[in-house]
């Protein structure tokens, strides 16, 4: 028997190099979502979006679905921008406190060259980073939803899957 083939059936489909493909329902419409995030995460995003749209619709029943989608997107983006600002303020406070304590004990800065533990990622020799490292914030280390729709093209959040 050939490796990868099931008896009496076709070979299993190869993983999609463009990411996971998940069918979700948002505000009564079916969408196909494709992304690097796992299926459970994408389902959770869709559930949260659906919930936010329904909450807004309950307060503003005269709005069309497109208006609800746009206002929900604007409200969510506003929340993201405020959280990013708060994150940067907290990070700056942490860095100032770190420097204050480092100077308090008279310790020299802990700098590691690229290629050493704690050094710059992917940098060349001579590039250094100061501990503690700052990591990019994002869902699942950068994994996320890349496209809405059925063809994997541009973001088309208002178009249902066919």
Q: HSE on the CB side for 63, CA within 13 Å? A: 16
What are the residue ranges in the chain where pLDDT is below 70?
1-16, 107-162
Please provide residue 146's backbone torsions phi and psi, each rounded to the nearest 5 degrees.
-95, -35
Q: What is the pLDDT at residue 156?
A: 36
Contact partners, residue 24, CB within 8 Å, separation at least 6: 30, 31, 32, 33, 42, 43, 46
Residue 34 Ramachandran class (φ > 0 left, ψ -120 to 50 alpha, else beta): beta
pTM: 0.56
Q: What is the pLDDT at residue 32?
A: 95
Q: What is the pLDDT at residue 137?
A: 41
Task: Tell me the CA distances in angstroms from 81 to 31, 47, 135, 146, one per residue in order.
Answer: 26, 21, 18, 20
The whole-angstrom separation of Cα 15 and Cα 24 is 19
pLDDT in tens, 56-68: 999 999 999 999 9
Q: What is the pLDDT at residue 37?
A: 93
């Amino acid at each position: 028997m050939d490796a990868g083939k099931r008896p009496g059936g076709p070979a299993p489909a190869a993983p999609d190099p463009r990411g996971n493909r998940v069918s979700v329902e948002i505000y009564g419409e079916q969408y196909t979502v494709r992304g690097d995030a796992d299926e459970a995460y994408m389902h959770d995003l869709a559930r949260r979006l659906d919930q936010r749209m329904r909450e807004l619709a309950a307060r503003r029943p005269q709005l069309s679905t497109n208006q609800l989608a746009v206002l929900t997107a604007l409200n969510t983006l506003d929340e993201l921008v405020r959280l990013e600002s708060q994150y940067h303020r907290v990070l700056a406070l942490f860095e100032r406190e770190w420097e204050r304590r480092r100077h308090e004990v008279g310790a020299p800065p802990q700098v590691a060259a690229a290629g050493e533990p704690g050094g710059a990622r992917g940098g060349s020799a001579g590039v250094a980073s100061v501990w503690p490292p700052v990591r990019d914030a994002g869902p699942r280390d950068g994994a996320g939803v890349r496209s809405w729709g059925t063809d994997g093209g541009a973001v088309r959040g208002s178009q249902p899957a066919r």
